Amino acid sequence: MITISIITVSDRSYQGKREDLSGPAIRTWAEDKGYVIRNEMIVPDELKSIEKALVDCSDEGTDLIITTGGTGFAVRDVTPEATLAVIEKNAPGFVEVMRMKSLQVTPHAMLSRAVSGIRKKSLIINMPGSPKAVRENLGFIESGIPHAIALLQAQVTDCGSSE
């Protein structure tokens, strides 16, 4: 059973000035996959707030932490920096696939600064802030998530085996 935490990074949603639509899009996807929602939170676009949310979710033992928002070029977009500050290992394949596939949808995909990595036994993946982009990107990478989580939980010992 995979547990998931969803962290929406948005000043306006945090302040109640804009409804969060991306977090619920992740929730719907996760529920469709049979994943167990451990946490859902909205934090402001502040480095320390994002770092604390990531660390808290990881320390609780969440398998998969997905952030949404704060991955672009805007001055307050600092989700990748917060993620890089807390991960222990880089896992770039997820965001490489997201950017590559997203470029087939929009040239703005090249502006994504999203990162993915591992902290303890948690896989952290940054998503864009748009609900449409979240749904598309989750579709691009969803096949790799269960195996990645199984590896982090030491449930797979022989990768590449045909058995």
Question: Regarding beta strands 116-119 and 122-127, do their DSSP bridges make them parallel or antiparallel, or are they unpaired?
Answer: antiparallel
pLDDT digits (tens, 9 = 90+) for 50-67: 999 999 999 999 999 999
Give pLDDT, residue 137. Answer: 98
**Other beta carbons within 10 Å of 2:** 19
75-92 burial by CB neighbour count: b if 16+ within 10 A, else e?
Answer: eebbbbebbeebbeeebe
Domain ranges of the chain: 3-152
pLDDT digits (tens, 9 = 90+) for 78-113: 999 999 999 999 999 999 999 999 999 999 999 999
Domain 3-152 of CATH type 3.40.50.300: no
**Residue 161 pLDDT greater than 60, yes or no:** no
